[in-house]
């Protein structure tokens, strides 16, 4: 099974930039999209009916903001749109598809750069997820988490760590949260297969950073430890354009 995750930075814009060609060429079993910036009813019927994927959307209350979507060829047995907490669900950041043998969390994590209140919100979201997962894995131990986490974990995960150590996205408290997630029984799939530097998933548009590969690895696939022997590959599709992020993916036998 191939699962891909991509922060498209606006799904309507992505469609104009070749998103359907990407779907055709990669043909994932499941695609998780973040930062859709659109409600389902704002998309064309032609797109909504395209392909053999069932398409599920979660939108923010605020128009043109946030939002996630999951396209899946495998029929989920249940869908959870959010955590059931208004504070977080109002921003349309979480979509959980539950299958027979695993559950997939598609999450667009908050960005903490704008102001201190948003950093607090981000950390609240982070720690609530840890609590949620502790209870959730009692009923389903096979968990895949993917999305834009908005934090680079280690110095190898961004081009200029020293210059950014006081910037949200590489703050110690944010990086320590990833440590806590891993210590709670999850694995960063990309680092199972690749320990090399210069592998990034986001580049700043304004400075044309992608041309120089001055980037950050802030998009992830995490799997719970019971799935460790099922994972066959994890990859970054850095040549795919259309957003300031590139797609990432895993191949897993499940």
CATH number at residue 51: 3.60.10.10
Whether the per-residue pLDDT at 32 is higher than 90: the answer is yes
Average pLDDT score over residue span 13-38? 97
Segment 68-97, tens digit of pLDDT: 999 999 999 999 999 999 999 999 999 999
Whether the per-residue pLDDT at 186 is higher than 90: the answer is yes
Per-residue confidence (pLDDT) for residue 138, from 0 to 100: 97
* pTM beyond cutoff 0.85: yes
Average pLDDT score over residue span 192-199? 98
* Residue 22 lies in domain: 2-252
Active site residues: 148
The mean of the pLDDT values for the chain is 97
Whether the per-residue pLDDT at 120 is higher than 90: the answer is yes
CA 214 to chain centroid = 20
The neighbour count for residue 170, using CB atoms within 10 Å, is 23
Per-residue confidence (pLDDT) for residue 114, from 0 to 100: 81
Average pLDDT score over residue span 29-55? 97
Whether the per-residue pLDDT at 111 is higher than 90: the answer is yes
Segment 211-236, tens digit of pLDDT: 999 999 999 999 999 999 999 999 99
- Residue 82 CB-density burial (10 A; 0-12 exposed, 13-18 middle, 19+ buried): middle
Per-residue confidence (pLDDT) for residue 196, from 0 to 100: 98
Average pLDDT score over residue span 101-122? 96
Per-residue confidence (pLDDT) for residue 112, from 0 to 100: 95
Looking at the structure of the chain, the number of domains it has is 1
Per-residue confidence (pLDDT) for residue 67, from 0 to 100: 98
Whether the per-residue pLDDT at 23 is higher than 90: the answer is yes
Average pLDDT score over residue span 132-146? 98
| % of the chain exceeding 90 in pLDDT | 99
Q: Are the CB atoms for 248 and 190 separated by under 8 Å?
A: yes
């Amino acid at each position: 099974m191939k699962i891909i995750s991509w922060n498209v930075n606006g799904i309507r814009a992505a469609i104009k930039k070749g998103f359907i060609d990407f779907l055709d060429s990669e043909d994932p079993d499941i695609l998780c999209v973040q930062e859709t910036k659109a409600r389902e009813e704002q998309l064309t019927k032609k797109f909504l009916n395209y392909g053999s994927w069932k398409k599920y959307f979660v939108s923010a209350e605020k128009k043109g903001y946030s939002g996630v979507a999951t396209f899946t060829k495998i029929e989920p047995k249940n869908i959870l749109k959010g955590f059931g907490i208004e504070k977080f669900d109002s921003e349309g950041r979480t979509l959980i598809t539950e299958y027979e043998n695993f559950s997939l969390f598609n999450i667009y994590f908050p960005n903490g750069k704008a102001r201190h209140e948003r950093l607090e919100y981000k950390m609240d979201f982070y720690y609530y997820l840890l609590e949620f997962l502790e209870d959730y894995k009692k009923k389903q131990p096979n968990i895949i988490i993917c999305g834009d986490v908005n934090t680079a974990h280690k110095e190898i995960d961004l081009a200029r760590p020293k210059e950014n150590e006081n910037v949200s996205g590489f703050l110690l408290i944010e990086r320590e949260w990833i440590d806590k997630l891993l210590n709670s029984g999850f694995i960063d799939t990309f680092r199972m297969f690749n320990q090399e530097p210069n592998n990034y998933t986001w580049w700043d548009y304004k400075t044309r950073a992608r041309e120089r590969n001055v980037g950050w690895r802030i998009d992830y696939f995490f799997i719970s430890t019971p799935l460790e022997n099922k994972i066959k590959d994890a990859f970054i599709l850095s040549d795919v354009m259309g957003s300031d992020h590139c797609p990432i993916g895993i191949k897993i036998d499940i």
